[in-house]
Amino acid sequence: MTHAVDIAIFGGGIAGLWSLARLQQAGYRVALFERHALGGVQSIASQGIIHGGTKYALTGKLTGSAMAIGEMPGIWRAALRGEGEIDLRKVRILAEHQLLWSTGSLASSMAGFFAGKVMQSRMQALDRGRFPPPFDDPGFRGGLYRLEEPVLDPRSLMQALQAQYGDLCYRTDSDPVAERHGDGWTICLAEGVEIRAAAVVLAAGRGNADLLSAFGQPEPAMQLRPLHMLMLRGELPPLHAHCLGASANPRLTVTSAPAADGRVVWYLGGQVAEEGIERSPEAQLRAGRDELAALLPWMTLDAAEWATLRVDRAEIASPGGRRPDDAYVGEHERVLTCWPTKLAFAPRVARLLEQRLVALDISPTHAETGRLPLSRPPLARLPWDEVERWN
Ligand code: FAD
């Protein structure tokens, strides 16, 4: 039996789920197919920061990235209030504002950056008397700034989307066999189910490369940018902050979350994660310890437990393997491929997809999506809940 949908989406990370929600709301008959777990690979492992572009403006001027992403926090905040394009009221906000801290030595060399008009609209200097832990220590000599960028718990985000749109999500265990027909695609899933779709959305992160082959598409090319993230667990204050380094990338980005046992997990990214890709887990742990000892020397972290995580960012290929400035949505033969580049860009991906569908003259049928004879994907777990052995 063949099941008809308007749009078949592959991949249940943030790009697939946000697009599923928006396309369903627009009246498209949509089904999403996920290979492993809802929440994806990158999305569940992300630091949950809804960037407004400040970290891309660390050179003092607004780059392409900073401009494209500037409107994202507003869209997300409206959704978090229940007044936006998606209802995200159930999502756990870990921090209303991300912080930016400069070490004492850097504060003067970055004076131009802090004085810039653009930056002043995006960040607010905090008075020393109002510094939260761990910056309320006399040992801290740098500056502290508040950014208009909330930090979300990625699992509760995925849970909120699953609760509302999970009945349109199905599990499939291998890449499909796809055949083009006049006005769309016939897709045979390994589970013996055949789908007819007017268009296909590939939102499978690094899985897009194999899916593109399955749909006979030689392009677009994908790039992977690996990270070697660090986690530490202990009696720690909540912390959501970028530490400014000498380059346009934050030297360290810390986000935190309560662990199941009441302790706090710090999740460390930024330069230390980018530079750590060649290091063994042991060497990366040493690098992480050294970095925190250098940046927060007054803190005692001896009792903390550590772990590392390797994860790749999957993106549209860019010259020199650089980070793309914007979300990517491309189309060929009714296969729409997307890589959001950032979690924060999910609403933009969905908007670009909708525009492409209109341009292709693929209209919503407003028909009911019947239940497909496939199982449901589970919800992905946070990286620190997956750690088997802490060091
Ligand atoms: P994914 O989340 O990777 O989801 C892809 C899904 O497709 C997965 O569920 C996978 O199982 C599924 N899949 C794969 N193959 C198939 C197949 N054949 N069929 C069906 N399904 C398939 N961005 C921010 O804005 N803020 C941050 O703080 C931030 N921090 C980050 C930290 C880390 C460590 C990383 C790696 C990224 C971070 N990012 C951040 C970037 C952001 O996480 C990604 O851009 C975004 O999550 C990508 O979402 P996605 O849905 O495209 O991919």
What pLDDT was estimated at residue 115? 53
Cβ–Cβ under 8 Å, residues 150 and 344: no
Structure token pair of residue 239: 């912390």
DSSP state of 371: P
Residues 6 or more apart from 285 whose CB is under 8 A from it? Answer: 230, 306, 308, 391
Q: For residue 343, how far is its CA from the centre of ligand 1 (angstroms)?
A: 7
Domains of the chain: 2-43+156-221+319-385 (3.50.50.60), 97-152+224-315 (3.30.9.10)
- Collapsing DSSP to helix, strand or coil, 88 comes out as coil
Show pLDDT as tens, one digit a residue, over the chain (391 residues).
789 999 999 999 999 999 999 999 999 999 999 999 999 899 999 999 998 877 666 655 556 666 778 889 999 999 999 999 999 999 999 999 999 888 766 554 555 565 555 555 678 889 999 899 999 999 998 889 899 899 999 999 999 999 999 999 999 998 899 999 989 999 999 999 999 999 999 999 999 999 999 999 999 999 999 999 999 999 999 999 999 876 667 899 999 999 988 899 999 999 999 999 999 999 999 999 999 999 999 999 999 999 999 999 999 999 999 989 899 999 999 999 999 999 999 999 999 999 999 999 999 999 988 899 999 999 999 999 999 999 9
* Ligand 1 pocket test, candidate residues 18, 38, 42, 345, most atoms within 8 A of CB: 42
Angle between the 14-25 and 154-165 helix axes, to the nearest 10 degrees? 30
Element (H, E) at 386: helix 383-386
Give the per-residue pLDDT at 120: 58
The residue to mutate among 19, 33, 41, 147, having the most atoms of ligand 1 within 8 angstroms of its beta carbon, is 41
Which H or E run includes 153? none
User: Is-contact 123 147, C-beta < 8 A?
Assistant: yes
Q: Which residue ranges have their beta carbon within 6 Å of ligand 1?
A: 10-16, 33-36, 40-43, 45-49, 51, 172, 175, 203-205, 207, 211, 227, 229, 269, 311, 313, 339-344
> Residue 340 C-alpha to ligand 1 middle, in angstroms?
8
Q: What per-residue confidence (pLDDT) applies to 256?
A: 98
Per-residue CA distances from 280 to 228, 275, 302, 312, 320 (Å): 9, 12, 21, 16, 25
